[in-house]
Amino acid sequence: MNKVKIVVDSTVDLNKDMYEKLDIRVVPLQVRFENETFLDGVDIDQETLYARVEKEGKLPSTAAISPEELGKVIKEYIDQDMDIVFLGIGSTLSSTFQNFHIAAQEFPEDRVYAIDTLNLSSGSGLLVLKACKLRDEGKTAKEISELVTPLVPKVSAKFCLDRFDFMHKGGRCSAMVKMFGHLFHIHPVLKVVDGKLIVESKPRGPIKVAYKEMLEELKKDLEIGVDMDNIMITHAGMNKEDEKYLYDEVSKLVDPSLIRITHAGCIISSHCGYGTVGILYIKK
């Protein structure tokens, strides 16, 4: 039986030490400012991204991984007699998944498997952690694909936005919406549903009102049943006070050892902006 390599794209938003500890290969998407192109998490980080946006007043564009680049990665591990399981940003949100399928056609189909997470950020990351756990239990690439795929619709991924700046810069809301959003202290709560990011609610008040809404959903889901391997708090930058508040509140609901705090990479951050925070987990 061949060894299994877990390959992901840079949007799954697990921390660097997790990638290293779990022996995960990360393939970066691109971030582009005018004529400059950077690799997400390689030669540009979150802080540099925000500094450039602040200075230049506009967002970068982002680009999926090409079939050619993905083909090189696949060949690298096939040549080492390893089978591959790929997970990344959902097919409804980027062409990266489709590009992987194109690249995989050049290799034996029983050696390369791709799981469409229909999610983003650490919503996809939760499925990556499941795949790694199964790999370490000795499962084959095919078995990992068959066991992780049914978990895709069970991932709960909810985020709240602290401000409208990046939505406005990215053309996803008007200047009027931005103005009223700030004026009335609206913090949209977004949720991934069927592979699409939708606005679920628009709570008004301090950001903690939105936090409490996400915490309340976690509490309700815990009563029904939640997978207790990992509970994610993922953010695109937040102050230490709010990070501690969220960690303490989630710790009241689950064993603190289950909580993973991760930082969104440049692809996710460039679309949602500083202050975006998510609580993510897998429901039973």
Q: What is the pTM of this model?
A: 0.93
Give per-residue pLDDT as tens, 125-183: 999 999 999 999 999 999 999 999 999 999 999 999 876 554 534 444 434 333 334 44
In order of their start, the domains of the chain are 3-149 (3.40.50.10170), 154-282 (3.30.1180.10)
pLDDT of residue 174: 38
- Measured between alpha carbons, how far is 206 from 86 in angstroms, rounded to an integer? 39
Write the CA distances from 70 to 21, 95, 122, 242, integer angstroms: 23, 12, 21, 38
Asked whether 226 and 284 are in contact (CB, 8 A), the reply is yes
Give per-residue pLDDT as tens, 222-273: 999 999 999 999 999 899 999 999 999 999 999 999 999 999 999 988 877 8
Give per-residue pLDDT as tens, 28-70: 999 999 889 999 999 999 999 889 988 888 888 899 999 999 9
pLDDT of residue 201: 84
pLDDT of residue 92: 94
